Structure 1
Amino acid sequence: MEHAPAWLTNSLIYLAAAVIAVPLSRAIGLGSILGYLAAGIAIGPWGLGLVTNVQDILHFAEFGVVLMLFLIGLELEPRRLWSMRRPIFGWGSAQVLGCTALLFAAGLAFGAPWRIALVAALGLALSSTAIALQVMGERNLLPTSSGKAGFSILLFQDVAAIPILALLPLLGADAGAPQAAQPAGHLWWEAGRIVAVIGGIILGGRLLLRPLLRLIARSRTPEIFTAAALLLVVAIAALMQLVGLSMALGAFLAGVLLAESEYRRELETDIEPFKGLLLGLFFIAVGMSIDFGVLWRSPGTMAAIVALLMVLKAGVIWFIARPMGIPLPERPVFTLLLAQGGEFAFVVFQAATAARVFSGDTASLLVGAVAVSMLLTPVLLVVADRFLVPRLGAGRRTLDELSEPQAAPVIIAGFGRYGQIIGRLLNAQGVAATVLDHDADMVEAARTFGYQVHYGDATRLDLLRTAGAASARVLVVAVDDKEQSLRIVDLAREHFPQLELVARARDVTHWNQLRDRGVMRVERELFESSLRSGRTVLEVLGLPPHEARRQAMRFRRHNLALFEQMYPHYKDRRRLIAVVKEGRHQLEEQMARERAETAERERKGEERMPGWDADR
Structure 2
Amino acid sequence: MAEHSVVFSFFLIFSGAAILASIALYTRQPLLVAYVVLGAALGPWGIGAVSDTNLLADIAHVGIIFLLFLLGLDMQPAHLLHMLRKATLVAIASSVAFMGIGYGAGIVFGFSQIESLVMGAALMFSSTIIGIKLLPTTVLHHRHTGELVVGLLLLQDVVAILVLLLLNSGGESSSTDISAGMNFARSMLALPLLALFAWGFVRWVLLPLLQRFDRFHEYIFLAAIGWCLGLAEGAVYVGLSAEMGAFIAGVALATSPISQYIATSLKPLRDFFLILFFFSVGASFNLTLIDDILLPALALTAAVLALKPVIFRYLLQGISESADTGWEIGFRLGQISEFSLLIAYLAFASGLIGTEASHVIQATAILSFLLSTYVVIFRYPSPIAVSDKLRRD
TM over 0.5: yes
SS in 1 for 2:290: helix
State the superposition RMSD in angstroms: 3.7
1:206 maps onto 2:203 in alignment: yes
Counterpart AA for 1:24: I
Q: Could you tell me which amino acid in structure 1 is paired with residue 268 of structure 2?
A: P
Does residue 106 of structure 1 match 2:108?
A: no
1:346 is aligned to: 344
Please name the residue that 2:46 is paired with.
Answer: 47
Query: Offset at 1:313?
Result: 4.8
Which of 259, 262, 270 is matched with 1:264 structurally? 259
Matched, 1:255 2:274: no
The one-character-per-residue Cα deviations of 1:412-453 (angstroms, maximum 9, x if unpaired) are xxxxxxxxxxxxxxxxxxxxxxxxxxxxxxxxxxxxxxxxxx
Partners of 2:250 and 2:339 in 1: how far apart?
25
The residue correspondences of 1:216-615 to structure 2 (distance < 5 A) are 216-217=213-214, 220-308=215-303, 311-313=306-308, 315-323=310-318, 325=321, 327-328=325-326, 330-338=328-336, 342-350=340-348, 353=351, 357=352, 363-385=354-376, 387-389=378-380, 398=389
| Contact 1:104/1:120 (<8 A) preserved | yes
- Matches of 2:205 and 2:138 in 1, distance apart? 34
Shift of 1:39: 2.2
Could you tell me which amino acid in structure 1 is paired with residue 95 of structure 2? V
- Are 1:61 and 1:285, in contact at CA under 8 Å, matched by a contact in 2? yes
1:175: which partner in 2? 176
Q: Secondary structure at the match of 1:84?
A: helix
1:135 and 2:130 correspond: no
Per mean C-alpha deviation after superposition, the further-off stretch among 274-283 and 340-349 is 340-349
Displacement of 1:211 in angstroms is: 0.9
The percentage of aligned residue pairs carrying the same residue is: 21
Tell me if structure 2 keeps the 8 A contact 1:44–1:287.
Answer: yes
CA contact (8 A) 1:55 1:289 kept: no
Q: For the residues of structure 2 that align with 1:293 and 1:236, how far apart are their CA atoms?
A: 40
CA distance in 2, matches of 1:182, 1:386: 44
Judging changes above 3 Å, is the alpha-carbon distance between structure 1 residues 137 and 53 closer, same or farther for their aligned structure 2 residues?
Answer: farther
User: Counterpart in 2 of 1:164?
Assistant: 166
Q: CA deviation at 1:153?
A: 3.4
Matched letter for residue 149 of structure 1: G
Are 1:337 and 1:377, in contact at CA under 8 Å, matched by a contact in 2?
A: yes
Displacement after TM superposition at 1:352 (Å): 5.4
The residue identity in structure 1 corresponding to 2:205 is L
Residue from 149, 152, 155 that aligns with 2:154: 152
Measured after TM superposition, the shift of residue 216 of structure 1 is 3.8
Matched, 1:81 2:80: yes
Instruction: Name the counterpart of 2:65.
Output: 66
Deviation of 1:22 after TM superposition, in Å, equals: 0.5
Is the partner of 2:14 in helix, strand or coil?
helix
The amino acid of 2:229's aligned partner reads V
- SS of the counterpart of 1:336? coil
Shift of 1:21: 1.0
Structure 2 unaligned spans of 5+: 382-386
Higher relative contact order (CA 8 A, sep 6+): 2
Deviations 1:189-213 (A, max 9, x none): 5544333212211222222220122
Greater percentage in helix = 2
Higher strand share: 1
Unaligned runs of 5+ in 1: 391-395, 402-456, 458-616
- TM-score (ref. length: structure 1): 0.54
Matched-pair contact (CA < 8 Å) for 2:198–2:249: yes
Q: Separation in 1 of the partners of 2:96 and 2:286?
A: 29
Relative to structure 1, is the Cα distance of residues 292 and 138 closer, same or farther in structure 2, using a 3 angstrom cutoff?
Answer: farther
Alpha-carbon spacing, 1:146–1:49, altered in 2? closer, same or farther (3 Å): farther
Shift in CA distance, 224/322, structure 1 to aligned 2, threshold 3 Å: same
Partners of 2:372 and 2:123 lie apart in 1 by 20
1:406 aligned partner? none
The structure with the largest alpha-carbon Rg is: 1
1:247-301 per-residue CA deviation (whole Å, 9 max, x = no partner) reads: 4444343333323323234313321211222222222222223221211345434
Deviations 1:344-370 (A, max 9, x none): 3224522552xxx55xxxx22222122
**How far is the alpha carbon of 1:160 from its aligned partner?**
2.8
Bigger Cα displacement from structure 2, 80-89 vs 233-242: 80-89
Q: How many angstroms does 1:386 deviate by?
A: 5.2
Verify the 8 A CA contact 1:165 1:348 in the aligned structure 2: yes
Give the secondary-structure state (helix, strand or coil) at the position aligned to 1:342. helix
Separation in 2 of the partners of 1:168 and 1:311?
32
| 8 A contact 2:87–2:152 mirrored in 1 | no
Match of 1:509 in 2: none
Distance (whole Å) between structure 2 residues aligned to residue 183 and residue 345 of structure 1: 19
Which residue number corresponds to residue 91 of structure 2?
A: 92
Aligned to 2:194: 197
CA contact (8 A) 1:310 1:339 kept: no
Distance 1:386 1:187 in 2: 42
2:384 maps to which residue? none
TM-score, normalised by the number of residues in structure 2: 0.80
Cα-to-partner distance string for 1:562-600 (whole Å, 9 max, x where unaligned): xxxxxxxxxxxxxxxxxxxxxxxxxxxxxxxxxxxxxxx
**Given the superposition, is the C-alpha separation of residues 370 and 244 from structure 1 closer, same or farther in structure 2, using an over 3 Å criterion?**
farther
Match of 2:14 in 1: 15
Checking the alignment, whether the CA contact within 8 Å between 2:76 and 2:251 is kept in structure 1 is: yes
Structure 1 residues 291 and 140: alpha-carbon distance in aligned structure 2, compared to 1, 3 A threshold: farther
Alignment check: 8 A CA contact 1:124 1:345 kept: no
